[in-house]
Amino acid sequence: MLEQGEFEKIPADLKWRSWLLLGGLVIASSIWMPWRFTTGLLLGGILANINFHFLHKALIKFLVVHKTSKGLVFESMVRLFVLGVILAVLLKYQWVDVFGLLLGLSVVVINLFMIALMEIKSLVLNRR
């Protein structure tokens, strides 16, 4: 079970682990996959990590500083619009492989899933 101090560390741990996971995936992909797949993986991972960073900052502003929810919604819409334009350009000109891009965009989700599995594992092992 997470202790009080460990709970606040989760976003920071998630950020650096996402970058490490992306680096490992890009290295492995550069060895075995075509360059467009690796490029999609790299750019998707960068976009996902940057998006998570700004989402984290916006939520901190909303929850701690008590910024209005309209500001949070507006910032989120702008961020998603910019992300959509970037993805549309990358896919329109076929600079990246779709599957590599999807894998890169999933880096943060994969990381969240890994954290959940580790927490479940620690709960199961500590119960015995």
pLDDT tens, 38-78? Answer: 999 999 999 999 999 999 888 888 888 776 777 788 889 99
Identify the band that residue 3 occupies on the pLDDT scale cut at 50, 70 and 90: low
Note the pLDDT of residue 80. 95
Cα separation, 122 vs 128, in Å, equals 10
Total of domains in the chain: 1
- Mean of the per-residue pLDDT values for the chain? 90
Given this model, what pLDDT does residue 93 score? 96
- The burial class, CB within 10 Å (0-12 / 13-18 / 19+), for 68 is exposed
Residue 51 sits in which domain range?
Answer: 4-127
